[in-house]
Amino acid sequence: MSREPILRVAINAPLSRLFDYLPPADGANSLPRPGCRLLVPFGRRRQTGVLLEVAKTSDVPAARLKRVQKVLDPEPILREPDLRLIRFASDYYHHPIGEVVGCALPAPLRQGKPLHESRQRLKLTADGAHAVPAEAVRRAPRQSALLELLQRDGSLAAEELDRLLPGWRQPARGLVAKGVAELVEELGPPPAAGSAQKTATAPVPNPDQAAALEALSGRRDFHVALLDGITGSGKTEVYLSLIQETIALGRQVLVLVPEIGLTPQFVGRLEGRLGLAAAVLHSSLPDSVRLATWRAARSGAAPLVLGTRSAVFAPMQNPGLIVVDEEHDGSYKQQEGLRYSARDLAIARGKQLDIPVVLGSATPSIESLSRCREGAYRRLTLPARAGGAAPPLLRLVDLNRHPPTEGLARPVVEAMRRHIDEGGQVLVFLNRRGYAPTLICRSCSAVAECRRCDARMTVHARSGRLMCHHCGAARPLDDSCAACGGPVAPLGQGTERLEDTLQQRFPDFAITRIDSDSTRARGAMDQALAAAISGQTRIMVGTQILSKGHHFPDLTLVVVINADQGLFSTDFRGTERLAQGLIQVAGRAGRESRQGEVLIQTAFAAHPFWHELLTGGYERVAAMALEEREDAAWPPFSRLALLRASSTRRADTHRFLEIARELADDSPQDGTRVLGPVAAPMERRAGRYRGQLLFQSRTRRALHRVLASLRPKLEEEPFARRVRWSIDVDPLELF
């Protein structure tokens, strides 16, 4: 008996290996190819897996090998380049490959549904079409009725039959048995190539744009360019030109954006200029739409694929360019499951495919700037606003000289009045939703705390509740102190409170609050944005939701209520993030003819950060941050990974991390430091105690070696079942 081949299958399970199966009983002569989905027995259930390798032998004893039950795809749905990216992500992030495959597939495909919606159709056979075997159906009136319908039309789709003759499947079986009719599967219609009205023409590139295009256009091989241009400098115009050129060559373009909900204007602009519909992929689409879009990307029917981070896995028939807009944005990093950076995977993918990758930002990440310095990426700068508008003027408002009332300093209120009188719009930015961040007792000073987290409850006045922003817990607002029964009062400012204060100060104007509470209802965000964009609203209050991507033509003043928290962050990315946030929100001001003004309230006006930012801009802050990182050997001058763990028992979390540390110590370390275990700064969240180990290596290779040997040991470690744990390579948050 000749030995059967072994099918090695990736299954969505938290184990870093493939699972071996024998070919299906009926399919030994035509083996499925890697990239096809298979239905396999797994434990006591059946699972959809993806075939990755065909091997000659297996380590599993022959008697224990099970058979594949069914091959779900006649052709690989993930093709070789897609599988390469998946393998890379699994290796780089030390994450089980089956779960990586799970990230790369839309939900219906993960669940084993067909790639193409097939539709059933009942057809007359040649026999059925010729003679009417009346006696054959004489005693079956429903078969007879169905036959009559078929003879009129020749064939009918299942959904038409559902309408014409409910319950038709039973008589259909009778007709099929008699050889009069047959049930055939047909593929759904091919996805229509997207089209959109071409509504705009390109402006003539200015000299900076022309220089960038000169450097980039015509190059089709792998290279990374960083388009470093202030807000409004015309980066999008440069992308558009490159996209157009690539599509004209018959190749597809992938554009990644941080958050789709925030960028309808961006999508509309791309579509209007290119005259084609973008295939938009993001997580809040209905499954069926997502699948259809994924299919259009895969088949090549969609020339432009645009999406949030998971779109980096979108298969493409003929890719030619990848663009990552706002490359510094933290939302490119997935913070659960496979903790990947879509920007970094986009670069890896560009390299594998040998196509260009263009990153763009007004505030590039320190990592990308450092790659430019090394000469690995090419940096192209757009230093001025394209339309000729002057960049906004940043000024500090010293809260020690101008003590605020209800959160607002006098110069700020005066400036608001002036801008509104001159027909401008004002955006007041506060990164704290709710009414107040604390509820405090006036007699004993106790604060209302979350029962499941080491955190305070936020006061939400509109809903009359206390809410925890860490675990989502909510309870009715206390009207007296839980500890002493004394009177309680909200302390500090949130967007709700600021809205009330502004309404009192500016009673003649409608105030629009935009944060994740005010925009929860369907359509509320669009409505608020429409009011803001049309100029109907003169004063907007909001969180960082407002800081990205939007273009408010009349906006001339941005007020930042409280930036001081960021000054004292313990994270080595703290000042970089603060500067990015401020520049992004400042970039909303004065995008048209009038110059914008930005006022930043601070109680620490002498902090060196402000001097750097105000005199040297983001560039100076970034250069300083890079120096600090070099001195302290933080990334990119070292490589980091975190092993995070949590459990409902503090001792278990700690014990697991101790075990992990010992297991890691067993491996050859060549220059990897293991720091910890330490508790997370907010140790308890949602009732779980959290802790971590930090791995710091000089090189990626050294870090990789340690993690590659540690991960399988942890998967085998019995104590690991008592905790939840995860590995985070290149963590964005250190805590």
Binding site for Zn ion (CB under 5 A): 450, 452-453, 468, 470-471, 473
Which pairs count as long-range contacts for 214-221, CB under 8 Å and 24+ apart, including other chains? 215/378, 215/380, 216/242, 216/356, 216/358, 216/380, 217/241, 217/242, 217/245, 218/245, 219/356, 220/249, 220/320, 220/355, 220/356, 221/354, 221/355, 221/356
When asked if residue 387 is in the footprint of ligand ADP (CB under 6 A), the reply is yes
The window from 107-115, 228-236, 468-476, 609-617 that contacts ligand ADP (CB under 6 A) reads 228-236
Q: Please list, in sequence order, all residues whose beta carbon lies within 8 angstroms of the beta carbon of residue 248, skipping any fewer than 6 positions away.
A: none
When asked if residue 356 is in the footprint of ligand ADP (CB under 6 A), the reply is no
Pairing of strands 224-229, 378-382: parallel
450 binds, among Zn ion, ligand ADP, none (CB under 5 to 8 A by kind): Zn ion
237 binds, among ligand ADP, Zn ion, none (CB under 5 to 8 A by kind): ligand ADP
When asked if residue 48 is in the footprint of ligand ADP (CB under 6 A), the reply is no
3-class state of residue 640 by DSSP: strand
The radius of gyration computed from the CA coordinates of the chain, to the nearest angstrom, equals 30
Q: Please list, in sequence order, all residues whose beta carbon lies within 8 angstroms of the beta carbon of residue 400, skipping any fewer than 6 positions away.
A: 603, 605
The window from 188-196, 205-213, 456-464, 531-539 that contacts ligand ADP (CB under 6 A) reads 205-213
Distance (Å, rounded) from C-alpha 62 to C-alpha 6?
A: 10
468 binds, among ligand ADP, Zn ion, none (CB under 5 to 8 A by kind): Zn ion
Smallest separation, CB 241 to ligand ADP (Å): 10
When asked if residue 575 is in the footprint of ligand ADP (CB under 6 A), the reply is no
When asked if residue 231 is in the footprint of ligand ADP (CB under 6 A), the reply is yes
When asked if residue 386 is in the footprint of ligand ADP (CB under 6 A), the reply is yes
Q: Nearest CA to 369 among 164, 195, 625?
A: 625
The window from 10-18, 108-116, 202-210, 710-718 that contacts ligand ADP (CB under 6 A) reads 202-210
Distance (Å, rounded) from C-alpha 275 to C-alpha 8?
A: 44
453 binds, among ligand ADP, Zn ion, none (CB under 5 to 8 A by kind): Zn ion
579 binds, among ligand ADP, Zn ion, none (CB under 5 to 8 A by kind): none
When asked if residue 229 is in the footprint of ligand ADP (CB under 6 A), the reply is yes
Nearer to Zn ion, 86 or 453 (CB): 453
When asked if residue 232 is in the footprint of ligand ADP (CB under 6 A), the reply is yes
Nearer to ligand ADP, 129 or 213 (CB): 213
Distance (Å, rounded) from C-alpha 643 to C-alpha 728?
A: 6
Residues in the chain: 735
Q: How far does CA 359 lie from the centroid of its chain?
A: 16
When asked if residue 49 is in the footprint of ligand ADP (CB under 6 A), the reply is no
Q: Nearest CA to 609 among 629, 630, 587, 624?
A: 624
When asked if residue 588 is in the footprint of ligand ADP (CB under 6 A), the reply is no
The sign one gets for the Cα dihedral 170, 173, 178, 179 is positive
Q: Is 550 left (phi over 0), alpha (psi -120 to 50) or beta?
A: beta
250 binds, among Zn ion, ligand ADP, none (CB under 5 to 8 A by kind): none
205 binds, among ligand ADP, Zn ion, none (CB under 5 to 8 A by kind): ligand ADP
When asked if residue 237 is in the footprint of ligand ADP (CB under 6 A), the reply is yes
Smallest separation, CB 622 to ligand ADP (Å): 18
When asked if residue 209 is in the footprint of ligand ADP (CB under 6 A), the reply is yes
Distance (Å, rounded) from C-alpha 349 to C-alpha 401?
A: 53
The sign one gets for the Cα dihedral 9, 11, 14, 19 is negative
For ligand ADP, the binding residue among 58, 143, 236, 308 (CB under 6 A) is: 236
Tell me, by CB under 6 A, how many residues bind ligand ADP. Answer: 15
Nearer to ligand ADP, 203 or 261 (CB): 203
When asked if residue 205 is in the footprint of ligand ADP (CB under 6 A), the reply is yes
The window from 43-51, 225-233, 369-377, 502-510 that contacts ligand ADP (CB under 6 A) reads 225-233
When asked if residue 206 is in the footprint of ligand ADP (CB under 6 A), the reply is yes
Q: How far is CA 192 from CA 35, 189, 279, 292, 301, in A?
A: 25, 8, 11, 10, 7
Q: Nearest CA to 464 among 441, 435, 493?
A: 435
Residue 405 carries which DSSP code?
B
Nearer to Zn ion, 280 or 453 (CB): 453
Distance (Å, rounded) from C-alpha 589 to C-alpha 557?
A: 6
Smallest separation, CB 454 to Zn ion (Å): 9
Smallest separation, CB 206 to ligand ADP (Å): 4
Please give the residue ranges that form the binding site for ligand ADP (CB under 6 A). 203-206, 209, 229, 231-237, 386-387
